[in-house]
Structure 1
Amino acid sequence: MNQFERLYDEQENVKVRFTGFTTENARYDFGVVYSSLFFGKPLVVCMQTGRSTLLEPKDLDNIDHLQHVFRIGDEEQVIELVEFFHEILPVAPFSTQYD
């Protein structure tokens, strides 16, 4: 492994939330990994497609990003997801993991 420069190799016990819900338009199944890494942003994984992203509440203003990451064509569906994520994402102050 001498050919690689290790950037980080961390282990931590994390809280993981698995949640599934339906709306009039779709079914959703997500895993949310709450970690102190990645500036405190939870890792959100769509359990149906495997697509994932780091999200914090201010990221929810960028509907185009959510549509792209989770490949959702319908804006109404994205708005439903934004409402859900507003309920489960913690409001965390910005902090760096590289102190």
Structure 2
Amino acid sequence: MELFEKLYDEHEKAQVRFVGFTTDETRYDFGIVYTNMFFGKPLVVCMQTGRSALLDPNDAADIEYLQTTFRIKEHQQAADLAEFFRSALPTMPFEPQYE
């Protein structure tokens, strides 16, 4: 008897972008993994804290979501981050994986 039921086991050559930048208030270091998995949403990892999220442009435009996900205290810092993600994340049409 197997202990786990495997849901998926995919191999993919993914494109990864590492970017560091500063704003007036803080420094950011992110790894962005562009993948076909997860509805095409890139996996965004904060290299400083290890916090990560699957983000599309709609998610990235939600300032409160960014504050919660990356534990950012100041609204303006999250707004600056949203501005960066606006240019860094690809726009992909959402196609439901499960119907």
TM-score interval w.r.t. the shorter chain? over 0.9
CA distance in structure 2 between the aligned counterparts of 1:36 and 1:92, rounded to whole angstroms: 11
For the residue of structure 1 that corresponds to 2:32, the secondary structure is strand
- Superposition pairs of residues 58-69 of structure 1, within 5 angstroms: 58-69=58-69
- In the TM superposition, what whole-angstrom CA distance separates every residue of 1:19-61 from its partner, at most 9, and x where no partner exists? 0000110000000000000000000000000000000001123
Separation in 2, partners of 1:13, 1:96: 23
Q: Give distance in 2, aligned partners of 1:68 and 1:92.
A: 24
List gaps (5 residues or longer) in structure 2.
none
1:33-52 alignment runs, 5 A limit: 33-52=33-52
User: What are the residue-to-residue correspondences of 1:62-77 with 2, within 5 Å?
Assistant: 62-77=62-77
Return structure 1 stretches of 4+ with deviation > 2 angstroms: 95-99
Partner of 1:78: 78
Tell me, which stretches of 5 or more residues in structure 1 are unaligned? Answer: none
Total equivalences in the alignment: 99
2:18 alignment counterpart: 18
Write the letter of the residue equivalent to 1:92.
M
TM-aligned CA deviation for residue 98 of structure 1: 5.9
Identity %: 59
Q: What is the TM-score of this pair, normalised by structure 1? A: 0.93
CA RMSD, Structure 1 to Structure 2 (Å) = 1.5
